[in-house]
């Protein structure tokens, strides 16, 4: 099918391949249909920018709760794109800069580099951090925000094509800042929603020494504790707790305790 066809394309990356793999420590687990659908849409946009006459420039926003896998999915789509120029822009890259102007210039420089390749893909990770968003005040760097929004909507020079994937866990903020207006498409990346999806994740990753009965037991205990099937915790958080739990004297008990705490916390909010 459509997705598999793309999977067969052999990627030929530039210098940033190991950068891409770094964001895929646990791979991409297909624990729900929405994961497949996200990858299909992502690869359609990749194809549009590669081939269509007038769509030489496209901007896509991946948004979703903390630890839900936004960065990993963007990295996965980039790996599959086979574009000759792929580059990350992350808050960590900018932490050493003196001020917002230096950060803005760095970001501008990477766009300028991308414009030199005929076919480029940029991942702008965690745009709320890039713009130094802070909900108390509220504060942000208007200098970086203005540059970001302007660079997002600026088409590459004649004869060049550019796909931009951006991620955020603060979509409402981005709406308020009119940043979402600058994206052609938006993709929602959900948390692990319910106990069934949680079970899929735990089994896939071989939690509790691969003991599927233990997984069932844990799911049942959680259902009793929380009184529902809802989870609402990001896939990365789940994978981390599962790994910690294995070193505890009581892995199942420890896992249930921490997970129950998080489920309570996220569902209250």
Ligand X SMILES: Nc1ncnc2c1ncn2[C@@H]1O[C@H](COP(=O)(O)OP(=O)(O)OP(=O)(O)O)[C@@H](O)[C@H]1O
Query: Which range touches Mg ion (CB under 5 A), out of 71-79, 178-186, 196-204, 216-224?
Result: 71-79
Q: For the purposes of burial, counting CB atoms within 10 Å of the CB of 132, is it exposed (0-12), middle (13-18) or buried (19 or more)?
A: middle
Query: Taking the complex as a whole, how short is the minimal distance between the CB of residue 248 and a second copy, in angstroms?
Result: 6
Q: Which residues contact 181 (CB under 8 A, 6 or more apart)?
A: none
User: 166 vs 173, which CB is nearer to a second copy?
Assistant: 173
Grouping H, G, I as helix, E, B as strand and the rest as coil, residue 42 is helix
Using CB under 6 A as the binding rule, the residues of this chain from 228 to 257 that contact ligand X are 235-236, 239
The yes or no reply on residue 196 touching ligand X (CB under 6 A) is no
Number of H helices, E strands in the chain: 14, 7
Binding footprint of a second copy on the chain (CB under 8 A): 2, 22, 25-26, 44-45, 47-48, 51-55, 66, 91-92, 94-96, 98-99, 101, 105, 108, 129, 132, 134-140, 142-143, 145-147, 149-151, 154-155, 169, 173, 176-178, 181, 184-185, 237, 239-240, 243-244, 247-249, 258
Residue 238 and residue 29: Cα distance in Å, rounded?
Answer: 12
The yes or no reply on residue 141 touching Mg ion (CB under 5 A) is no
Residue 18 and residue 13: Cα distance in Å, rounded?
Answer: 10
How many residues touch ligand X under the rule CB under 6 A: the total is 23
The yes or no reply on residue 59 touching Mg ion (CB under 5 A) is no
The kind and range of the H/E element at 164 are strand 161-168
Query: Which range touches Mg ion (CB under 5 A), out of 33-41, 69-77, 179-187, 221-229?
Result: 69-77
Measure CA 86 to chain center: 16
DSSP state of 160: -
Residue 250 tokens, joined: 């009581």
Contacting positions for ligand X (CB under 6 A): 23-29, 31, 35, 66-73, 126, 167, 169, 235-236, 239
């Amino acid at each position: 099918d459509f997705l598999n066809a793309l999977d067969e394309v052999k990627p030929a990356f530039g210098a940033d391949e190991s950068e891409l793999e770094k964001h895929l420590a646990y791979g991409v687990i297909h624990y729900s249909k929405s994961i497949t659908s996200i990858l299909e849409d992502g690869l359609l946009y990749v194809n549009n920018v590669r081939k269509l006459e007038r769509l030489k420039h496209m901007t896509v926003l991946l948004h979703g709760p903390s630890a839900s896998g936004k960065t990993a999915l963007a990295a996965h789509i980039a790996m599959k794109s086979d574009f000759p120029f792929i580059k990350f822009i992350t808050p960590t890259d900018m932490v050493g800069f003196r001020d917002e102007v230096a950060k803005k210039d760095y970001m501008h420089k990477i766009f300028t580099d991308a414009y030199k390749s005929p076919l480029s893909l940029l991942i702008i990770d965690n745009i709320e951090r890039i713009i130094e968003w802070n909900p108390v005040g509220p504060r942000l760097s208007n200098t970086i925000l203005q540059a970001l929004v302007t660079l997002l909507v600026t088409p590459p020079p004649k004869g060049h094509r550019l796909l931009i994937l951006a991620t955020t866990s603060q979509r409402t903020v981005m709406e308020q800042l009119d940043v979402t207006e600058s994206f052609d498409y938006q993709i929602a990346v959900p948390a692990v929603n319910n106990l069934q999806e949680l079970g899929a994740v735990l089994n896939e990753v071989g939690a509790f020494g691969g003991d599927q009965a233990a997984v069932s037991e844990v799911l049942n205990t959680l259902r009793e504790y929380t009184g529902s099937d809802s989870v609402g915790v990001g896939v990365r958080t789940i994978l981390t707790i599962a790994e910690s739990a294995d070193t505890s004297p009581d892995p199942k008990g420890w896992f249930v305790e921490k997970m129950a705490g998080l489920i309570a916390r996220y569902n209250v909010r």
